[in-house]
Amino acid sequence: MNAKIDASGADGALKAKHRAMWALGDYPAVAEEVIPDLGAILVEACGVGRGDRVLDVAAGSGNAAIPAALAGAGVVASDLTPELLEVGRGLAARRGAQVEWRRADAEALPFGDGEFDTVLSCVGVMFAPHHQAAADELVRVCRPGGTIGLVNWTPEGFVGQMFATMKPYAPPPPAGAQPPPLWGSEEHVRGLFGDRVTEVGVRRQSVTVDRFDSPDAFRDFFKANYGPTVAVYRAVAGDAERVAALDHDLSELARRHMQGGEKSVMEWEYLLFTARRNG
C-alpha cells in the first residue's frame, strides 16, 4: 500500500487548487451533454452486475456511478470536489439510482483494503496529480480477484491534444505533478499497476461527439464550462492578445477534428483499461 499523501503544506494547497478548478464552470453539463454514454461503456466493460460492491473514484457527478447503480450494484461515488457530488445526488435521484456520495482524495481513499469488488474511474482519476499514488489506492481498495476499470483520454486523441494546446497558456504545473493524458498511454498505465494485476485488457476506442455545430461553439462551451479550460483562460485574462490566441488555437483544434473540416462530428479517443487484482 502506498503511503498516504500528506494533506498539509504544498500538497494540501495543490489539492485545494484542484478542488477549486473542478468547481469552475459546469462540469456536469460537459458529462451530460458531451460524453453522456462514456460511463455506461466502462460499467459494461467491467461486467458490473447486481450485488457487486463498486467504487467510482473521481466520480464527478456520477457519469459511471449512476449506470453502475442502475445495473444493480451497491455504489459509492467519491470525488474531491463537493460541488460535483451535490449535482450527482440530484441526477441520481431523478434517475432512481441509489448511490452513496463521499468526498475523498483519489490519492488517499478513506476505504478499507479490499473493500470493493469493482473499482473504476471514467476520465477522473487521470487528473490526480501523483499517478503512482492514485494507482496504488485503486489496487488497495479492490479485493483480490476484483476488477479495476478505467477510461482515460489518450495523449494523441482530441482531449489530450486540447491539453497540449492549452499548456503554453497555463502556469507551470507544481513540482511532481504529472500530465493527466499520460494515463491514456498503455505503457504508462501498465507500469503503474505492474504485476499487481492480471487479465489485463487494453484497447483504444473513441466516443462520438456531435454536441457542437461549429469549432467556435466547441471553444465557447468549454471556455465557459470545463474547469481546466476556464482556469487557463483566467490565467491569461489580463492579456487580450493571449486570450485571442487561445481562442484561435482551440477553435483550430476543433476544426481539424471535425469530420470534413466544418461538419459537427468529432471522434474523441480514449484508452479502456480493465484488469483483475492479483492476490
Task: Tell me the pLDDT tens digit for each residue of 56-112.
Answer: 999 999 999 999 999 999 999 999 999 999 999 999 999 999 999 999 999 999 999
Q: Quote the domain boundaries for residue 198.
A: 9-154+173-206+268-277
pLDDT digits (tens, 9 = 90+) for 10-47: 688 889 999 999 999 999 999 999 999 999 999 999 99
Confidence of residue 261 (pLDDT cuts 50, 70, 90): low
Assigned domain for 33 exists: yes
pLDDT at residue 5 in the model: 41
Assigned domain for 254 exists: no
Assigned domain for 27 exists: yes
Contacts of 249 (CB under 8 A, 6+ apart): 165
pLDDT digits (tens, 9 = 90+) for 151-168: 999 999 999 999 999 999
The more confidently predicted of residues 11 and 133 is 133
Assigned domain for 50 exists: yes
Task: Provide the grid cell at 124.
Answer: 477522473
pLDDT at residue 9 in the model: 62
Task: Provide the grid cell at 252.
Answer: 483550430
pLDDT at residue 12 in the model: 85
Report how far residue 254's alpha carbon sits from residue 209's, in angstroms, rounded to the nearest whole number.
Answer: 11
Assigned domain for 49 exists: yes
202 has pLDDT over 80: yes
State the CATH number of the domain containing residue 40: 3.40.50.150
4 has pLDDT over 50: no
Residue 265 gets the label, from left (phi > 0), alpha (psi -120 to 50) or beta, of beta
Assigned domain for 233 exists: no
Assigned domain for 220 exists: no
Mean pLDDT to the nearest integer, 177-206: 97
User: 266-277 and 197-209: which strand pairing?
Assistant: antiparallel
Assigned domain for 253 exists: no
* Total count of domains within the chain: 1
Could you tell me what percent of the chain has a pLDDT over 90? Answer: 91
Q: What is the DSSP string of 116-182?
A: EEEEEEES-GGGSS-HHHHHHHHHHHEEEEEEEEEEEE-SSSHHHHHHHHHGGGSPPPPTT---GGG
Task: Find out whether 86 and 150 touch, Cβ atoms under 8 Å.
Answer: no
Report how far residue 83's alpha carbon sits from residue 103's, in angstroms, rounded to the nearest whole number.
Answer: 10
pLDDT at residue 21 in the model: 95
